[in-house]
């Protein structure tokens, strides 16, 4: 138990730091700005932020989400992503302490970046999806469950399944029903979870999407069949709990 707590705290702290980078990536990349170069600044007064303004979560809490100089509200996306990254690390270390937990945390952090970009920009960058896929292959190659053979089948099956659905939908309806990045993301998820968990992920993603629609309807929002939805985000939200269950059941 002590080992699990130690890993959980370590990965949680690492997650908060990585979450800050992920948030910067999500904000800057769609704008064509460099993620690695350029100082962060207040959007209200353009003041360059110092080290005390950039401590993950703590700075936002102490400043109550406002610039210390001009008082302008700071967008909540940054601290929300940091908090989610912290939680991903905490849970991964607690459920699967050790190197496998670190691998799972990486899986979660990459999914978080993809989910955030999809929900804010309807964009699943190929470079980020490829990083997720390669990380899945590496974790399988070093012996993290599931076996590499199951992952390879999962990668091919995940991509083929959603590609076939998208092709069939376009054939019948005459328009796109899935974004081009969704099959690639599902294939990358298969390279992490193996083929056996793919139906579970797809079911959970669909169930989550349905729940969100029902909540929206209860709040008075109308729903149409052609409403655009970030399906990649739903896949990412479903994939991480599936990984936790998979690895937790193997220990």
pLDDT tens-digit map of 116-168: 999 999 999 999 999 999 999 999 999 999 999 999 999 999 999 999 988 88
Helices and strands of the chain, counted as H and E runs: 9, 0
Cβ(131)–Cβ(25) under 8 Å? no
- Cα 198 from Cα 162, distance rounded (Å): 11
- Give the pLDDT confidence of 71-128 residue by residue, as tens digits: 667 778 889 999 999 999 999 999 999 999 999 999 999 999 999 999 999 999 999 9
- Give the pLDDT confidence of 220-232 residue by residue, as tens digits: 676 555 566 789 9
Say which DSSP state 176 is in.
Answer: -
In terms of Cβ atoms closer than 10 Å to its own Cβ (0-12, 13-18, 19+), residue 188 is buried
Cβ(88)–Cβ(109) under 8 Å? yes
Cβ(205)–Cβ(231) under 8 Å? yes
Q: What is the mean pLDDT of the chain?
A: 87
Place of tokens 């999914």: 111
As a whole number of Å, the CA-based R_g of the chain is 19
Strand ranges inside 6-122, DSSP E: none
Rounded average pLDDT over 38-55: 65
Between helix 77-95 and helix 99-121 the angle, nearest 10°, is 150
- Cα 59 from Cα 64, distance rounded (Å): 8
pLDDT category of residue 31 using cuts at 50, 70 and 90: confident
Residue 87, pLDDT score: 97
Residue 63, pLDDT score: 74
Rounded average pLDDT over 233-239: 96
Residue 171, pLDDT score: 83
């Amino acid at each position: 138990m002590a080992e699990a707590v130690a890993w959980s705290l370590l990965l949680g702290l690492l997650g908060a730091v990585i979450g800050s980078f992920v948030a910067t990536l999500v904000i800057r990349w769609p704008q064509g700005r460099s993620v690695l170069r350029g100082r962060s600044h207040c959007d209200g007064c353009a003041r360059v932020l110092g080290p005390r303004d950039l401590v993950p979560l703590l700075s936002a809490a102490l400043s109550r989400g406002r610039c210390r100089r001009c008082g302008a509200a700071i967008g909540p996306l940054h601290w929300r992503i940091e908090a989610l990254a912290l939680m991903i690390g905490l849970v991964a270390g607690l459920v699967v302490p050790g190197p496998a937990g670190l691998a799972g945390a990486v899986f979660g952090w990459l999914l978080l970046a993809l989910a955030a970009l999809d929900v804010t920009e309807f964009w699943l960058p190929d470079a980020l999806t490829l990083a997720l896929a390669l990380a899945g292959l590496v974790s399988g190659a070093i012996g993290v469950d599931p076996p590499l053979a199951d992952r390879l089948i999962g990668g091919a099956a995940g991509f083929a399944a959603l590609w076939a659905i998208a092709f069939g939908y376009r054939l019948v309806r005459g328009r796109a029903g899935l974004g081009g990045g969704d099959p690639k993301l599902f294939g990358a998820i298969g390279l992490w979870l193996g083929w056996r968990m793919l139906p579970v992920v797809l079911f959970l993603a669909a169930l989550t999407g349905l729940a969100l629609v029902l909540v929206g309807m209860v709040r008075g929002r109308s729903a149409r069949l052609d409403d655009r939805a970030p399906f990649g985000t739903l896949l990412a939200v479903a994939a991480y709990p599936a990984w936790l269950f998979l690895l937790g059941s193997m220990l």
